[in-house]
Amino acid sequence: MSSNLATKLREGTKKSHSMAENVGFVKCFLKGVVEKSSYRKLVGNLYFVYSAIEEEMERNREHPIVSKIYFPELNRKQNLEQDLSYYWGANWRDVVAPSPAAQAYISRIQEVSANAPELLVAHSYTRYLGDLSGGQILKGIAVTAMKLSDGKGTAFYEFPTISDEKAFKNMYRQAMNDLPVDDATADRIVDEANAAFGMNMKMFNELEGNLVKAIGIMLFNTLTRRRTPGSTELATAE
């Protein structure tokens, strides 16, 4: 029995995917406007979300459906720990906590794991396939915008045990298409994926206010520095 689930997910989440890309924080990121304070809060939230996904995937690794798309080489937790150490320092565990939106996301992952493990497929798809698809582009934006160097702060985007990301994505999609699920279960997984996109958007929306505030402060400081002494006119930009 073939579910063609990957195809159904791609078609069934197009609207949610587009909405997520148009959240203010994401639009700014894609345009190269990345503020380190907001970004490190995102990294913190992602750490807790991925920790939950990976813990529950591991817990259900022998489930008849989850086992088919259980690929530990996708795990992000350890990579995110490297980034958290870079952005927050060695004591990051004492200062980083999930935001309200991230905590709600985590609670949902734990809920489906306990009551309907097959829905973990939706959470795996929503996060990991996106990471594989656009990770290198986002890494480049982050490096340029935050002036990162020597690979610091971007471990999240690296998959050291996956030599060919395109081939892995094709294998992953085929595994999803081959999942032994009926149409009703496939529809539930698509619904859960749309819900996962919504939970990601809520995390981004939380960060949007921080980003706007930070950009406002940076602009104010820049304008203040460019004013000539004794004048209310802006100095000519260098």
pLDDT per residue, tens digit, the chain (238 aa), is 567 999 999 999 999 999 999 998 999 999 998 888 999 999 999 999 999 999 999 999 999 999 999 999 999 999 999 999 999 999 999 999 999 999 999 999 999 999 999 999 999 999 999 899 888 889 999 999 999 988 899 999 999 999 999 999 999 999 999 999 999 999 999 999 999 999 999 999 999 865 555 454 444 454 555 554 543 333 323 3
Amino acid identity of residue 216, one-letter, is G
Which parts of 116-182 fold into alpha helices (H)?
120-124, 130-146, 165-177
Residue 198 sits at the vertex; the CA angle it makes with 196 and 201, to the nearest 5 degrees, is: 115
Task: Give Cα 212 distance to the centre of its chain.
Answer: 20
Q: How far apart are CA 139 and CA 156, in angstroms?
A: 9
CATH architecture of 5-212: Up-down Bundle (1.20)
Name the token pair of 186.
Answer: 């496939």
Q: What are phi and psi of 96, to 5 degrees?
A: -100, 130
Please check whether residue 139 is in contact with residue 29, taking contact to mean a CB–CB distance below 8 angstroms.
no
HSE of 224, CA atoms in CB hemisphere, 13 A: 6
Beta bridge partners of 82: none
Spatial CB neighbours of 11, under 8 Å, sequence gap ≥ 6: none
Amino acid identity of residue 209, one-letter, is G
First to last CA, the chain: 66
